[in-house]
């Protein structure tokens, strides 16, 4: 592809101006000049999965995760509250490792999880949320809710408070079944 743009001049941020910019800007600024330039960039039109999984008929998001719920709704995903406690067979992702990025990206610290799924019968509390895969945006739901998704809510830090036990420092089960 050809992107029509400008020539950019790289300038080091002066020490006296450093406080004007957030830390993720780094040490340099790219400033646009008046000179036009065409940039040739590769066009990646064929995504190849690095990992595939079998999708469930629904996801259960444990209670007290307003930020997660709000994000799902902002994406147009239908979510239903579970009003009474219920015991269900589910897949639980047991986290074995939580790794955080060394640098901020778009104001967030990226999170990478490792672990494995386990079939269990769990007590689902009232106030949890049911996210059916039988809806128009079903292909988006696993991208957002799967623990290993490279662009999911876990990666963007939405579950950070719940991933590691405050008292032991050990990883917990992922809060979405």
Q: What is the mean pLDDT of residues 103-108?
A: 82
pLDDT reported for residue 131: 98
Measure the CA–CA gap between 103 and 92, rounded to whole angstroms.
30
Place of tokens 């990478």: 112
- Alpha carbon of residue 96 to chain centroid: 18
* pTM of the predicted structure, to 2 decimals: 0.73
More confident residue, 127 or 49: 127
How far is residue 41 from each of residues 4, 32, 100, 109, measured CA to CA in Å?
A: 11, 19, 30, 28
Do β-strands 80-81 and 86-105 pair in parallel, antiparallel, or remain unpaired?
unpaired
| Mean pLDDT of all residues belonging to the chain | 92
Long-range contact set of residues 46-54: C-beta below 8 Å, sequence gap at least 24:
51/148, 53/142, 53/146, 53/148
pLDDT reported for residue 163: 86
Q: H helices of 55-176, where?
A: 66-74, 140-145, 160-163
Lowest-pLDDT choice from 37-41, 53-57, 82-86: 53-57
Is residue 93 helix, strand or coil? strand
For residue 142, the tally of other CB atoms under 10 A from its CB is: 16
Residue 114 CB contacts under 8 Å (≥ 6 apart), including other chains = 95, 96, 97, 99
Lowest-pLDDT choice from 51-55, 63-67, 86-90: 51-55
Given CA atoms 88, 91, 94, 95 in this order, what sign does their dihedral have? negative
Do β-strands 129-132 and 58-61 pair in parallel, antiparallel, or remain unpaired?
antiparallel
């Amino acid at each position: 592809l050809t992107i029509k743009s400008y020539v950019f001049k790289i300038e080091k941020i002066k020490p006296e101006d450093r406080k004007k910019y957030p830390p993720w800007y780094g040490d340099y600024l790219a400033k646009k000049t008046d000179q036009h330039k065409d940039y040739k960039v590769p066009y990646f039109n064929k995504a190849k999965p690095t990992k595939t999984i079998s999708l469930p008929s629904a996801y259960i998001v444990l209670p007290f995760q307003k930020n997660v719920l709000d994000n799902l709704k902002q994406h147009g995903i239908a979510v239903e509250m579970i009003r009474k406690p219920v015991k269900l067979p589910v897949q639980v992702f047991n986290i074995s490792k939580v790794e955080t990025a060394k640098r901020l990206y778009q104001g967030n610290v990226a999170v990478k999880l490792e672990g494995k799924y386990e079939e269990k019968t769990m007590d689902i509390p009232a106030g949890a949320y049911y996210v059916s895969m039988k809806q128009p945006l079903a292909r988006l739901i696993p991208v957002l809710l799967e623990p290993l998704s490279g662009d999911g809510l876990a990666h963007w830090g939405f579950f950070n408070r719940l991933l590691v036990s405050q008292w032991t420092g050990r990883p917990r089960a992922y809060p979405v079944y």
